[in-house]
Chains A and B, each alone.
Chain A
Amino acid sequence: QSALTQPPSASGSPGQSVTISCTGTSSDVGGYNYVSWYQQHPGKAPKLMIYEVSKRPSGVPDRFSGSKSGNTASLTVSGLQAEDEADYYCSSYAGSNNFYVVFGGGTKLTVL
Chain B
Amino acid sequence: EVQLVESGGGLVQPGGSLRLSCAASGFTFSSYDMHWVRQATGKGLEWVSAIGTAGDTYYPGSVKGRFTISRENAKNSLYLQMNSLRAGDTAVYYCARASGASDAFDIWGQGTMVTVSS
**Chain A residues positioned under 8 Å from B54 (CB to CB):** none
Identify the closest chain B residue to A89 (Cβ): B45
Query: In the complex, which range does the number of interface residues on chain B fall in?
Result: 20 to 34
Contact yes or no, B103 A93, CB < 8 A? yes
Q: With the chains together, A102 CA to B102 CA distance in Å?
A: 12
Whether, in the assembled complex, A103 has its beta carbon less than 8 Å from a beta carbon of chain B, the answer is yes
Task: Select one of A1, A47, A103 contacting B108, CB under 8 A.
Answer: A47
Minimum-distance CB pairs A-B, first 3: A51-B104, A34-B102, A45-B108
Q: A93-B103, A106-B45 are in contact. List 13 more A-B contacts (CB 8 A).
A: A3-B44, A45-B94, A45-B108, A45-B109, A45-B110, A51-B106, A52-B101, A93-B102, A96-B58, A100-B60, A101-B35, A103-B46, A106-B44
Q: Give A contacts to B, CB under 8 Å.
A: 1, 3, 32-36, 38, 45-48, 51-52, 57, 89, 91, 93, 96, 99-106
